[in-house]
């Protein structure tokens, strides 16, 4: 049985010292390279609609394009202090006894800074993740063997370009950007380094995009800032289709794999889940504020509200993994690992292959969200 050390570099998934020991040595570089080798696949079978569910998704995508430059009210004035207050509510510090901690001396000014930096950090990581999706989906166009999947993936490339564009433009209206988080970058590198087309699907469409859809939904629900709310509503309408694309593409393919091949996919899903969970520790914020990073993370993780928020990020991932048959294969190996992460309770929630249409935009929907 593959050990945690082999998969994620540590025995205990909650070993904070080991998590913080992972560093991104080129995080301030403008260019980052990932070396990989994969087959570029042509298909001479142009029969459109041979995979009807993918074809329907493609037709829906063609009619759902929006323009990030003109369809959002960019002249909206943003009150970042209000955004910061909402961000702070996700930590639950107000309900905690902070006596004797690094936060004991904090007044309104310092708490406001935490909220501002956290907002900048969260939106920056969304932006970086969307670029990862842009590159991964371009890869899928190249190496997926079915014409219906190539057609749909091409529409997603355009979607992801819009997402990177609008998050970057929104961040320019705030007070600063953050470099890509170490754990997110490590996961993106792993996805791109793997030559197998279905691993690109699993890592990006199921894991990264699934978590993003849940995170966007949470932020959309709590924010009252009108531009951000409309932006997230547009992005969510695309993301739900993207995750459904992964579910619909992999569901039949995984029935053809042997036990050893399925186990590799289970291990990859677990590793991706841990990397994404670790990135939400936002150590870069505490570092930028000059705090003891380990102490700050330990205190923040002690908030029941924060812990519950991090678990809710897996509400799309777990049922989608179940739909793909990954939870209970290999004597339930991935089920056991998700139990270890404390997220198995979401297994019977709706999978995105079933619910993506509920995220679709009605005429004028985003402008009224």
Q: Is 337 exposed, middle or buried (0-12, 13-18, 19+ CB in 10 A)?
A: buried
Q: Is 296 exposed, middle or buried (0-12, 13-18, 19+ CB in 10 A)?
A: buried
Q: What is the pTM of this model?
A: 0.92
Distance CA 182, CA 45 (A): 41
Secondary-structure percent of the chain, ordered helix, strand, coil, rounded to 5: 65, 0, 35
Tokens describing residue 311: 């678990």
Q: Look at residue 365 in the predicted model and tell me its pLDDT.
A: 58
23 close to 29: Cβ distance less than 8 angstroms: no
Please write the tens of the pLDDT for every residue from 257-294: 999 999 999 999 999 999 999 999 999 999 999 999 99
Tens-digit pLDDT profile for the chain (369 aa)? 688 898 888 989 989 999 988 887 676 788 888 888 888 999 999 999 999 999 999 999 999 999 999 999 999 999 898 878 777 777 778 778 899 998 999 998 999 999 999 999 999 999 999 999 999 999 999 999 999 999 999 999 999 999 999 999 999 999 889 999 999 999 999 999 999 999 999 999 999 999 999 999 989 988 889 999 999 999 999 999 999 999 999 999 999 999 999 999 999 999 999 999 999 999 999 999 999 999 999 998 888 788 788 888 999 999 999 999 999 998 999 999 999 999 999 999 988 777 778 888 765 554 444
Domain locations along the chain: 50-62+79-91+106-368
Fold assignment, 50-62+79-91+106-368: Ribonucleotide Reductase, subunit A (1.10.620)
Distance CA 158, CA 61 (A): 10
What are residue 40's phi and psi, to 5 degrees? -90, 120
Percentage of the chain with pLDDT > 70?
A: 96
Please write the tens of the pLDDT for every residue from 230-248: 999 999 999 999 999 999 9
Distance from CA of residue 358 to its chain's centroid?
20
Crossing angle for the helix pair 209-222 and 304-312, nearest 10 degrees?
130
Q: Calculate ∠ Cα 302-120-186, nearest 5°.
A: 75
In 292-355, alpha helices (H): 293-301, 304-312, 317-323, 329-341, 352-355
Q: Look at residue 366 in the predicted model and tell me its pLDDT.
A: 44
Distance from CA of residue 134 to its chain's centroid?
13
Q: Look at residue 224 in the predicted model and tell me its pLDDT.
A: 87
Eight-class DSSP state of 327: T
Tokens describing residue 213: 């859809």
Distance CA 175, CA 369 (A): 25
Q: Look at residue 137 in the predicted model and tell me its pLDDT.
A: 96
Q: Look at residue 362 in the predicted model and tell me its pLDDT.
A: 64
Q: Look at residue 368 in the predicted model and tell me its pLDDT.
A: 47
Q: Look at residue 364 in the predicted model and tell me its pLDDT.
A: 52
Q: Which residue, 71, 76, 164, is CA-closest to 367?
A: 71
């Amino acid at each position: 049985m593959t050990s945690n050390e082999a998969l994620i570099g540590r025995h205990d998934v909650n070993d904070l010292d080991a998590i913080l020991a992972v560093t991104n040595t080129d995080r301030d570089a403008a260019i980052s390279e990932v070396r990989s080798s994969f087959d570029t696949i042509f298909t001479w079978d142009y029969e459109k609609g041979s995979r009807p569910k993918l074809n329907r998704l493609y037709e829906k995508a063609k009619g759902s394009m929006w323009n990030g430059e003109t369809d959002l009210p960019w002249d909206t004035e943003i009150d970042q202090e209000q955004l910061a207050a909402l961000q702070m509510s996700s930590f639950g510090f107000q309900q905690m006894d902070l006596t004797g901690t690094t936060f004991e001396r904090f007044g309104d000014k310092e708490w406001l800074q935490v909220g501002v930096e956290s907002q900048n950090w969260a939106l920056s990581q969304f932006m970086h993740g969307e670029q990862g999706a842009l590159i991964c989906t371009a890869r899928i166009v190249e190496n997926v063997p079915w014409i219906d999947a190539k057609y749909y993936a091409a529409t997603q490339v355009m979607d992801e370009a819009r997402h990177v564009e609008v998050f970057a433009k929104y961040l320019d209206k705030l007070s600063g950007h953050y470099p890509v988080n170490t754990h997110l970058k490590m996961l993106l590198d792993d996805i791109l380094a793997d030559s197998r087309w279905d691993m690109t699907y699993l890592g990006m469409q199921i894991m990264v995009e699934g978590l993003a859809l849940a995170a966007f939904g949470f932020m959309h629900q709590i924010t009252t800032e009108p531009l951000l709310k409309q932006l997230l509503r547009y992005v969510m309408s695309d993301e739900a289709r993207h995750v459904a694309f992964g579910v619909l593409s992999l569901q039949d393919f995984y029935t053809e794999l042997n036990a050893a091949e399925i186990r590799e996919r289970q291990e990859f899903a677990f590793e991706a889940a841990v990397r994404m969970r670790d990135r939400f520790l936002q150590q870069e914020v505490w570092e930028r504020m000059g705090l003891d990073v380990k102490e700050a993370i330990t205190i923040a993780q002690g908030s029941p509200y924060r812990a519950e928020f991090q678990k809710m990020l897996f509400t799309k991932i777990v049922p989608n993994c179940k739909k793909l048959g990954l939870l209970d294969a290999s004597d339930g190996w991935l089920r056991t690992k998700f139990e270890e992460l404390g997220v198995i309770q979401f297994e019977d929630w709706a999978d995105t292959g079933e619910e993506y249409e509920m995220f679709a935009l009605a005429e004028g929907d985003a402008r009224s969200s």
